[in-house]
Amino acid sequence: MTISVFDLFSVGIGPSSSHTVGPMRAGNRFVAELCASDVLGSVADIRVDLYGSLAATGAGHGTPTAILLGLEGYAPEEITPDVIAERVSTMTSTGRIALAAELAPASSPAIALTVEDLVMHPATILPFHPNALTLTAFDGAGIELLAQTYYSVGGGFVVTEAQARTAQTNEPGGRAFSSAAELLELCRRDHCAMSDVMARVEGETHSVDDLRARLLHIRDVMVACERRGISQSGTLPGTLGVRRRARGWYERLNAEDPGRRPEFAEDWVNLVALAINEENASGGRVVTAPTNGAAGIVPAVLHYAVHYTASGGADADDTAIRFLLAAGAIGSIYKERASISGAEVGCQGEVGSAASMAAAGLAEILGGSPEQVENAAEIAMEHSLGLTCDPIGGLVQIPCIERNAISAGKAINAARMALRGDGAHRVSLDQVIETMRLTGADMSTKYKETSTGGLAVSVPVNYVEC
Ligand code: SF4
Please write the tens of the pLDDT for every residue from 183-204.
999 999 999 999 999 999 999 9
Measured from the CB, is residue 396 less than 6 Å from ligand 1?
yes
Instruction: Read off the pLDDT band of 127 (50, 70, 90).
Output: confident
Dihedral angle of Cα 262, 410, 12, 332, to the nearest 10 degrees: 120
Task: Decide if 8 is inside a domain.
Answer: no
Average pLDDT for 237-262: 96
Q: Count how many domains the chain has.
A: 2
Q: Which of 169, 197, 215 lies at the terminal end of a domain, its last residue? A: 169
Task: Decide if 265 is inside a domain.
Answer: yes
Residues 79, 207: one domain?
Answer: no
Instruction: Read off the pLDDT band of 175 (50, 70, 90).
Output: low
CATH of residue 35: 3.30.1330.90
Alpha-carbon distance of 20 to 88, in angstroms, equals: 14
Task: Decide if 463 is inside a domain.
Answer: no
Task: Decide if 174 is inside a domain.
Answer: no
Q: Is the pLDDT confidence value at 249 over 50? A: yes
Alpha-carbon distance of 159 to 379, in angstroms, equals: 31
Q: Which parts of 14-117 are beta strand (E)? A: 45-51, 96-98, 110-112
Rounded to the nearest angstrom, the distance between the alpha carbon of 261 and the centre of ligand 1 is: 32
Bridge partner list, 148: 135
Q: How far is CA 447 from the centre of its chain?
A: 18
**Amino acid 59: pLDDT:** 85
Task: Decide if 386 is inside a domain.
Answer: yes
**Amino acid 174: pLDDT:** 47
Residues 109, 225: one domain?
Answer: no
Query: Ligand 1, atom 4: nearest CA belongs to which residue?
Result: 389
Measured from the CB, is residue 226 less than 6 Å from ligand 1?
no
> Which residues constitute the domain of residue 228?
180-458
Q: Is 177 helix (H, G, I), strand (E, B) or coil?
A: coil
Residues 40, 90: one domain?
Answer: yes
Residues 77, 209: one domain?
Answer: no
Residues 125, 157: one domain?
Answer: yes
Sign of CA dihedral 284, 289, 295, 301: negative
Residues 317, 343: one domain?
Answer: yes
Task: Decide if 333 is inside a domain.
Answer: yes
Residues 315, 215: one domain?
Answer: yes
Q: Is the pLDDT confidence value at 371 over 80? A: yes
Q: Is the pLDDT confidence value at 61 over 90? A: no
- What digits encode the pLDDT tens for the residues 279-330? 999 999 999 999 999 999 999 999 999 999 999 999 999 999 999 999 999 9
Residues 446, 400: one domain?
Answer: yes
Tell me which of 63, 277, 396 to substitute to probe ligand 1's pocket, judged by most ligand atoms within 8 Å of the beta carbon.
396
Measured from the CB, is residue 289 less than 6 Å from ligand 1?
no
Residues 79, 153: one domain?
Answer: yes
Residues 116, 200: one domain?
Answer: no
Residues 226, 105: one domain?
Answer: no
Q: Which of 116, 143, 169 lies at the terminal end of a domain, its last residue? A: 169
% of the chain surpassing 90 pLDDT? 89
Task: Decide if 22 is inside a domain.
Answer: yes
Q: Which of 145, 169, 193 lies at the terminal end of a domain, its last residue? A: 169
Residues 197, 271: one domain?
Answer: yes
Task: Decide if 390 is inside a domain.
Answer: yes
